[in-house]
């Protein structure tokens, strides 16, 4: 997945703490009045006997007890007692510290607070492992809305937990903190993906149900013109492509919302999320199909394959047929629904662009 750091968070990867152990252990042994058991090294020098036991210190989203590392080993001067890997976010003003007590052969790792409420910690634990770290970093940015966003993950049906968690982890805080944003939209977004996939013959959702690491992708039926006679093949896209280009709810520059506040001039949704509005044209007062414009569902449902796997140039305003591939049909629908240049005020929401029939083809 893409880099998960936020601008005001920085991630620390401690591949080794040898240097800290050298310095702290050396001076702690000198200063400790009772270093514990010592052994003769045979050359006239002595060294403390320390216990060695490797203890993992992985990223944990919930508040953590202070882990200790126990080691039992005869140490020569400046020899590393033990090593460990630590992966943790350190926010401005925070610190991660390591305490060493050679008298008992232990060192302690003190983690900074992760900034998660109990509900947010539960949501992180309920999410697939591959998105947990990014989710734990993102939730504190949502302020008072963090718990409501986390609750959407907790309440999500098992088959869409990964989609809901991904959107929560990747939506810009500015989008979530917008007064027009409603937390339940992240669940509605995922539900519409599954609803539409069930009605399309050329796409299937592929679920990986590995416990704790669930993920989804999509596969598309394409025509292989290299075979004789031409045959159809299924092509599966990478998980990253599915989550960023199918699941993520932002098309271009629009606000992520379905609710209008009555003052909109460029972000009109007419009370519907774009996936539902473009597919069903549900608002009788703002129908984008009025005047003979085609409904998106009528163009896409007959399609039996995605594309022909070759470069093809199509003419505008072409006649639709049931033999069209999905990419052909979608381009044809867009050309017909948005045949005019942008109008003023310039619409940004896909719903408003479709209703005004003015804009650029890449905006809808």
Residues 136 and 209 in one domain: yes
Mean pLDDT of 86-113: 84
pLDDT of 275 strictly over 80: yes
Residues 19 and 81 in one domain: yes
Residues 301 and 259 in one domain: yes
Query: Contact 270/286 with Cβ under 8 angstroms?
Result: yes
Band the pLDDT of 87: cuts 50, 70, 90.
confident
* Nearest-angstrom CA–CA distance, 325 and 220: 11
pLDDT digits (tens, 9 = 90+) for 202-220: 999 999 999 999 999 999 9
Is residue 230 in some structural domain? no
Boundary-marking domain end, from 110, 142, 168: 110
Boundary-marking domain end, from 76, 110, 144: 110
Q: How high does pLDDT run on average in the chain?
A: 83
pLDDT digits (tens, 9 = 90+) for 21-66: 333 333 333 333 344 444 444 555 444 444 434 444 334 444 455 5
pLDDT of 332 strictly over 90: yes
Q: Which residue has the higher pLDDT, 323 or 78?
A: 323
Residue 33's pLDDT is 36
* Nearest-angstrom CA–CA distance, 222 and 174: 39
Residues 267 and 177 in one domain: no
Number of other residues whose CB lies within 10 A of the CB of residue 363 = 21
Query: Contact 351/268 with Cβ under 8 angstroms?
Result: yes
Is residue 134 in some structural domain? yes
Residue 172's pLDDT is 96
Is residue 77 in some structural domain? yes
pLDDT of 228 strictly over 90: no
Domain extent for 192: 115-214
Query: Contact 68/84 with Cβ under 8 angstroms?
Result: no
Residue 44's pLDDT is 53
Residues 341 and 274 in one domain: yes
Residues 296 and 337 in one domain: yes
Is residue 79 in some structural domain? yes
Is residue 227 in some structural domain? no
Is residue 96 in some structural domain? yes
Residues 160 and 268 in one domain: no
pLDDT digits (tens, 9 = 90+) for 305-315: 999 988 888 98
Domain count, the chain: 3
Residues 283 and 346 in one domain: yes
| CA distance readout (Å), 131 to 106, 312, 364 | 33, 38, 29
Strands (E), 16-56: 38-40, 46-53
pLDDT digits (tens, 9 = 90+) for 155-188: 999 999 999 999 999 999 999 999 999 999 999 9
Residues 125 and 166 in one domain: yes
Boundary-marking domain end, from 214, 241, 270: 214
pLDDT digits (tens, 9 = 90+) for 125-143: 999 999 999 999 999 999 9
Query: Contact 62/116 with Cβ under 8 angstroms?
Result: yes
* Nearest-angstrom CA–CA distance, 81 and 85: 14
Q: Which residue has the tokens 């669940």?
A: 187
Is residue 243 in some structural domain? no
Is residue 150 in some structural domain? yes
Residues 20 and 68 in one domain: yes
Residues 262 and 353 in one domain: yes
Residues 87 and 171 in one domain: no
């Amino acid at each position: 997945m893409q880099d998960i750091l936020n601008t005001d968070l920085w991630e620390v990867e401690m591949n080794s703490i040898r240097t800290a152990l050298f310095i702290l252990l050396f001076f702690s042994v000198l200063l400790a009045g009772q270093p514990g058991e010592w052994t003769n090294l045979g050359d006239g020098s002595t060294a403390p006997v320390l216990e060695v036991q490797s203890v993992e210190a992985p990223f944990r989203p919930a508040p953590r007890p202070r882990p200790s590392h126990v080691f039992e080993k005869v140490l020569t001067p400046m020899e590393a007692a033990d090593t460990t890997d630590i992966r943790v976010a350190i926010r401005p003003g925070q610190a991660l510290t390591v305490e060493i007590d050679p008298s008992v052969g232990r060192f302690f790792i003190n983690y900074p607070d992760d900034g998660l409420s109990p509900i947010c910690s539960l949501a992180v634990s309920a999410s697939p492992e591959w998105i947990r770290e990014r989710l734990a970093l993102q939730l504190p940015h949502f302020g008072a809305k963090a718990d409501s966003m986390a609750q959407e993950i907790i309440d999500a049906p098992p088959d869409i937990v990964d989609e809901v968690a991904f959107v929560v982890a990747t939506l810009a805080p500015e989008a979530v903190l917008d007064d027009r944003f409603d937390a339940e939209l992240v669940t509605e977004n995922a539900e519409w993906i599954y609803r539409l996939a069930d009605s399309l013959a050329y796409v299937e959702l592929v679920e990986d149900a590995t416990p704790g690491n669930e993920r989804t992708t999509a596969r598309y039926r394409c025509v292989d013109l290299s075979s004789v006679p031409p045959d159809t093949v299924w092509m599966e896209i990478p998980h990253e492509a599915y989550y960023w280009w199918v699941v993520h709810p932002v098309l271009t520059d629009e606000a992520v919302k379905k609710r209008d506040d009555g003052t909109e001039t460029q972000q009109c949704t007419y009370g519907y999320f774009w996936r539902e509005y473009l597919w069903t044209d549900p608002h009788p007062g703002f129908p984008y199909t009025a005047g003979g414009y085609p409904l998106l569902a009528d163009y896409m449902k007959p399609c039996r394959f995605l594309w022909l796997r070759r470069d093809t140039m199509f003419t505008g305003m072409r006649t639709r047929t049931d033999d069209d591939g999905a990419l052909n049909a979608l381009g044809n629908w867009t050309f017909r629904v948005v045949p005019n240049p942008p109008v003023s005020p310039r619409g940004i929401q896909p719903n408003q662009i479709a209703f005004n029939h003015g804009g650029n083809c890449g905006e809808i």
